[in-house]
């Protein structure tokens, strides 16, 4: 957190251990692994006066990532969940297939004398890509923002490929990992024969490769896909559900059709009319 946001001289971060109950103003609070990125957490609340419970997911995913803890859910009366990919068409492929495609992209690019540039957010996605490259057999260079954050968490990431800070003069034979917002930077424009690959769940949308203006795009996401959203509801077993971020209206309607009390917190819910059978 200090590396990501900076820490003022008089500032203090109070880190709380996962799964341990903390008392706060009549509430019992637990942080649970969210599986989104390394260290990400859900918030589980229990009101001590009556035992009512609430789970706030924040950004999360249920499938096991390469660089983050596995998500853990607890049952709750009220569930507030993020629904970035709350449409049935968003089903993420297995990680093994994505890694195989990634390694093929890297090997083919280097074999052709090119430089593979892999684009992912500096915190979370970049470390996931780096972990996926542990068997790539080629050294890796990291953009400075990715280098700084990776250095702060590398002891928690397990086996990694050989990596170093980006050096424009020595990129030949290296795989580069850069954040998406610098793909048009002079650092990359000065390089010859680069091929870019974007990593995002939005790769599942038609035409995504052209919209992101990259040579290849892979559906690697830090968010729960549609089946995982449904699984979350089944496992938490809430009495009421509130949705934030993404396709909240559509997913709320899907849940209501399945018998759940579900509503969006961001928009007006769609008008639903129930028509009885016509009398003869």
Q: How much is the pLDDT for 185? A: 78
Q: How much is the pLDDT for 272? A: 57
**Average pLDDT of every residue of the chain:** 92
Say whether pLDDT at 84 is over 80. Answer: yes
Half-sphere exposure of 223 (CA within 13 A, CB side): 21
Greatest C-alpha distance within the chain = 83
176 near 164, Cβ under 8 Å? no
Tell me the CATH number of domain 2-90+223-264, given options 1.10.260.40, 2.60.40.1220, 3.40.190.10, 3.60.15.10: 3.60.15.10
196 near 176, Cβ under 8 Å? no
Give the pLDDT band of residue 9 (cuts 50, 70, 90): low
Give the pLDDT band of residue 187 (cuts 50, 70, 90): confident
**Mean pLDDT confidence for 251-270:** 90
Say whether pLDDT at 147 is over 60. Answer: yes
What's the CATH class of domain 95-218? alpha beta
**Mean pLDDT confidence for 87-92:** 98
**Mean pLDDT confidence for 164-175:** 95
Q: How much is the pLDDT for 270? A: 61
Give the pLDDT band of residue 280 (cuts 50, 70, 90): very low
Give the start-end residues of each E strand in 36-91: 41-47, 53-56, 78-83
Give the pLDDT band of residue 271 (cuts 50, 70, 90): low
Euclidean distance between CA atoms 235 and 31, whole angstroms: 17
**Domain coordinates of the chain in residue numbers?**
2-90+223-264, 95-218
**Whole-model pTM?**
0.90
Q: How much is the pLDDT for 205? A: 95
The pLDDT tens digits of the residues spanning 20-59 come to 999 999 999 999 999 999 999 999 999 999 999 999 999 9
């Amino acid at each position: 957190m200090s590396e990501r946001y900076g820490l003022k001289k008089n500032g203090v971060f109070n880190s709380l251990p996962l799964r341990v109950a903390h008392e706060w103003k009549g509430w019992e609070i637990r942080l649970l692994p969210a599986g989104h990125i390394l260290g990400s957490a859900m918030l589980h609340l229990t009101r001590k006066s009556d035992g009512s419970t609430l789970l706030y997911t924040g950004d999360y995913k249920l499938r096991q990532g390469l660089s983050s803890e596995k998500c853990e859910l607890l049952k709750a009366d009220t569930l507030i969940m993020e629904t970035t990919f709350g449409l049935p068409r968003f089903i993420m492929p297995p990680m093994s297939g994505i890694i195989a495609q990634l390694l093929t992209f890297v090997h083919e690019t280097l074999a052709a004398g090119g430089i593979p540039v892999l684009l992912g957010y500096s915190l979370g996605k970049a470390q996931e890509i780096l972990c996926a490259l542990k068997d790539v057999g080629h050294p890796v260079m990291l953009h400075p923002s990715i280098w700084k954050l990776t250095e702060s968490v590398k002891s928690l990431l397990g086996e990694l490929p050989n990596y170093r800070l980006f050096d424009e003069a020595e990129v030949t034979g290296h795989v580069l990992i850069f954040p998406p917002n610098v793909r048009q930077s002079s650092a990359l424009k000065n390089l010859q024969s680069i091929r870019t690959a974007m990593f995002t769940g939005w790769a599942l949308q038609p035409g995504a490769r052209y919209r992101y203006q990259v040579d290849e795009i892979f559906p690697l996401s830090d968010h729960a896909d549609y089946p995982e959203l449904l699984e979350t509801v089944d496992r938490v077993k809430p009495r009421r559900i509130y949705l934030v971020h993404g396709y909240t209206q559509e997913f709320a309607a899907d849940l209501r059709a399945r018998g759940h009390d579900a509503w969006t917190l961001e928009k007006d819910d769609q008008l639903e009319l129930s028509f009885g059978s016509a009398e003869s």
